[in-house]
Structure 1
Amino acid sequence: MVKLKVLLPEQFLAERTYIVNVLLKDFLGLQFRIETHTKNDYEILLPNGKDLIIKDHFFSSIQSSIGYLYESFIPTKIMSTINEFIPEQDIPIIYGTDEIDVSDERIVCGIDVFASSFFMLTRWEEYVNETRDSLDRFPATESLASKHQFLDRPIVNEYTEMLWNMLQFIGIEQERLERTFTIVPTHDVDHVCLWDTPVDVLRTMIGDITLRKDVKLSFKRLKQYWNIKTNQEKDPFDTFDEIMDQSEAQGIQSRFFFMNGGVTKFDRKYKLNDPHVKDVIQRIVKRNHIIGFHPSYNTYNDPVLWKQEKEGLEHMLGFQVKEGRQHYLRFDVPNTWGIWDDNDMTVDMTLGFAEMEGFRAGTCYEYRVFDIIERRPLQLKEQPLIMMESTFAYQEDHLRPEWMLHRISQLKQKVKKYKGSFVILWHNSNFNHGMWNNVKHVYQEILRD
């Protein structure tokens, strides 16, 4: 097979090479060779002599000695356009213009799909915009995608489809990579039991009496605790078999991410050497579902603590863990990715917003990440989180079954259109307890293809 030739400017070559490889090689599965040239734009040459030029509207305007990691380089206005190659009714332009010149021999595209995709995938906007919420997380409302109403669109997938459609128009003979839509259910195990110790139930009972002024409720708690401990009642947080049953019914695997540390009020209380916890893990392994790592609250920027917790988890398990998600979705670009990569992790699934569902990285495909400080791709891959059940609890009146099903179905259909991975997070503790009783059937609906 004759490869394509991709010509790139020498300026910011590491960044350009990375994003070209992600879109053309990883996403589309095309074969090509990269060369440099003295022009400012991207040029893709086909064996038939025809070419596609993507106008550069970002890197060529920035001095290499200064770099692009400044908030002033984030666009303040986003326009949308239509053309014959886009997969949706319109397409937002992060960098570039709506100009497109089409002839039989050449297409010149004004939308800088490469810089726009680089912006979304590397999350460099989160590095230059230092706004954080009370948990030191980059807020969804600060993202360009949220501000300009395209957070619920996998915009990088749209750019990739546009690229493919233009290449088809000028006669590409290679076949693209075949993909299959998949549902990826994940479960952060923040709690294994409703109450891990007698102290926990005692503390809750005191709160019932002193804060909630409900003595009867405190005694109900005590009765429930006793019934659970004497096996007269099932622990509402022990939903592991139920979750695996539902996944197996659809022919998919669940992923359970366990913690092994943490001293803050946000961290878990269970111990990995507890007989009940060991039993849960053994049940998961026996049924061929996946155990992953859920690093504690303060690990997202602490490589020493992160490593200690991972090694302790692996020591208890007797095997290595290769994937997982940061607790509370705490994430620091690019440091958190670097910690995961340094510890030989394969896949991170943290990249989603806690307070808004959607496409934080602009894609529903797993992709290799890029370190914007060291200016190099890492071995680690990101599989972005698209929907978390707790997000709907953030939003007033949105913890309603009909609304959740409607909203989740919208996102699911978009992922299905691009044959991506619909990564969802539903905590094991949010099925048979409190307000979650009324919406747990939503989870079953999600899993149905």
Structure 2
Amino acid sequence: MITIYHPRNFIDERTYIIEVLFSEFLGIEYKLFEYEGENYKIILENNTTLIIVDSFFNNQDSNMYLDIKNIPSYVNFITNPFIIEKDIPILYGTDQLEVTKNQIICGIDIFASSFFMLTRWEEYVNKERDIYNRFPAVASVAFKNGFLERPIVNEYVEMLWNMLTYLGVEQKRKLRKFEFIVTHDVDIITYWKNLKTNVRILGGDLIKRKSIYVFFEHLLELLQVKIGKRKDPFDSFDYIMDLSEAANIKSRFYFMSGGVTKFDNYFKINESAALNILNKVKERGHIIGFHPSFNAYNDPIQWKKEKVLLEETANVTVKEGRQHFLRFEAPITWNIWNEEEMEMDCTLCYADKEGFRCGTCYEFPVFDFLSRKQLSLKEYPLIVMEASFTAYQTVAPQYMEEKTKALIEKTKKYNGNFVYLWHNSSFNIPAWKSFQPVYENILRSQIKVRK
């Protein structure tokens, strides 16, 4: 068994990140000890040694590292024989690499760099926020230094494994398999909702869009929906499940069930239309999850109230979901989910940019850096949300498809989880018709993968 020694300070933080990298990600058994040394010392079964230079925690005067001055101000990209990409970013550490037959000294502080990405303490100390009080991609170290579209924690893990392999590690690493996880936030279930909404849409065709053709097309659609000759455009659930089933995938539908703001309550979870959808999802064997409302991300009382209503209405126990508007506050939101015994959160992607917000495409147990403890909840980071390309960027459908497929291939390279979000309301209406083939092509591409 591998033996790992670490310095005697920041024990909770060190224990957590060693556990994630070695046990969760690599599946390597080890014994962990504290010692008086300054660096991480990893001794393999054959007595060879890997030393990871500590360039972060040992530089802190106390247990308080949560300061904006500790965010990397400059990220250097270096090469060495143990990486699998053309280069690797150094968040903490140096390019020092000393290799002999029995020992490697690595200057990149893999542990502190990974801890920085996974725990999101960056977002706690950097107070920059968008109009919805979210930490934006453009404020992140990853975006500013051009590695948001790289799962750099996975890259560190590969480098770590390659160094262990060079030194003659006897254990086998955990075998992982690429998984395509498709999710759907259910914010609204009807396009033709009521008289006010209908007049607004039809009036917009004439006044804003200045299209008599679209007006009559919409009017005909409205009449057909009202007499039951046609589905409402947002009733895309059978269509979604048909595509998922063809690819042997279960769709995950995350339902809203309350809220106190103008961004919530576009439907009632116990109304007949919603009940019909819930029953249909259950009957077809897909997954019902939870989509807490706009303000619930830091309000445990509101959060629990909505979860209880969803579970009672749908007669299911929900264990996974995602925050509405991707609103998230580290570590408060994670603690709410953990206290309610949720198992899987899929919130962590930036609204304004696709990519690897947590630096990984693997699920991982989260860490509360304020109480300094690992939680039971696991984060499955979201990698692509369709609205990132349309609401926050101006791109063509072809670009969206190419970028999504590139991120899928990147995730496949590391046998990770590609978590994909496409709302049920992003189909069948003028704003989304040109993008709908993108979703179809992405799902159909998974059919070949799974056969």
Does structure 1 conserve the Cα–Cα contact (< 8 Å) formed by 2:279 and 2:314?
no
| Counterpart Cα distance in 2 of 1:259 and 1:205 | 27
Residue 62 (structure 1) aligns with: 60
What amino acid maps onto 1:441 in structure 2?
A: P
**Cα distance, 1:395 vs structure 2:** 5.0
Residue 446 (structure 1) aligns with: 442
Single out whichever of 24-33 and 426-435 deviates more from structure 2.
Answer: 426-435
Residue 38 (structure 2) aligns with: 40
User: Is the counterpart of residue 412 in structure 1 residue 408 in structure 2?
Assistant: yes
Which structure 2 residues correspond to residues 228-239 of structure 1 after superposition, within 5 A?
228-239=225-236
Match of 1:304 among 294, 301, 304: 301
User: Is the counterpart of residue 87 in structure 1 residue 103 in structure 2?
Assistant: no
Indicate how the Cα distance of structure 1 residues 442 and 73 shifts in structure 2: closer, same or farther if over 3 A, else same: same
Matched position secondary structure for 1:233? coil
| Counterpart Cα distance in 2 of 1:261 and 1:83 | 52
Indicate how the Cα distance of structure 1 residues 406 and 204 shifts in structure 2: closer, same or farther if over 3 A, else same: closer
**Cα distance, 1:401 vs structure 2:** 2.5
Does structure 2 conserve the Cα–Cα contact (< 8 Å) formed by 1:120 and 1:362?
yes
| Equivalences, count | 445
What amino acid maps onto 2:439 in structure 1?
A: Y
Residue 17 (structure 2) aligns with: 19
Single out whichever of 279-288 and 199-208 deviates more from structure 2.
Answer: 199-208
Residue 161 (structure 2) aligns with: 164
Matched position secondary structure for 2:31? strand
| Counterpart Cα distance in 2 of 1:263 and 1:202 | 25
User: Is the counterpart of residue 173 in structure 1 residue 170 in structure 2?
Assistant: yes
**Cα distance, 1:437 vs structure 2:** 1.1
User: Is the counterpart of residue 129 in structure 1 residue 119 in structure 2?
Assistant: no
| Counterpart Cα distance in 2 of 1:180 and 1:272 | 36
Does structure 2 conserve the Cα–Cα contact (< 8 Å) formed by 1:201 and 1:222?
no
Indicate how the Cα distance of structure 1 residues 349 and 93 shifts in structure 2: closer, same or farther if over 3 A, else same: same
User: Is the counterpart of residue 373 in structure 1 residue 370 in structure 2?
Assistant: yes
| Counterpart Cα distance in 2 of 1:183 and 1:237 | 24
Q: Deviations 1:327-378 (Å, cap 9, x if unpaired)?
A: 0000001100011001110010000011100000000000000001000000
Residue 185 (structure 1) aligns with: 182
| Counterpart Cα distance in 1 of 2:68 and 2:101 | 40
Does structure 1 conserve the Cα–Cα contact (< 8 Å) formed by 2:185 and 2:255?
yes
What amino acid maps onto 1:428 in structure 2?
A: N
Match of 2:94 among 80, 97, 110: 97
Task: Calculate the aligned-residue CA RMSD, in Å.
Answer: 1.6
Matched position secondary structure for 2:94? strand
User: Is the counterpart of residue 266 in structure 1 residue 248 in structure 2?
Assistant: no
**Cα distance, 1:200 vs structure 2:** 2.5
**Cα distance, 1:434 vs structure 2:** 1.4
| Counterpart Cα distance in 2 of 1:122 and 1:417 | 23
**Cα distance, 1:27 vs structure 2:** 0.2
TM-score by length of 2: 0.95
- Identity percentage over the alignment? 49
Matched position secondary structure for 1:284? helix
What amino acid maps onto 2:381 in structure 1?
A: P
Which structure 2 residues correspond to residues 376-415 of structure 1 after superposition, within 5 A?
376-398=373-395, 400-415=396-411
**Cα distance, 1:277 vs structure 2:** 1.2
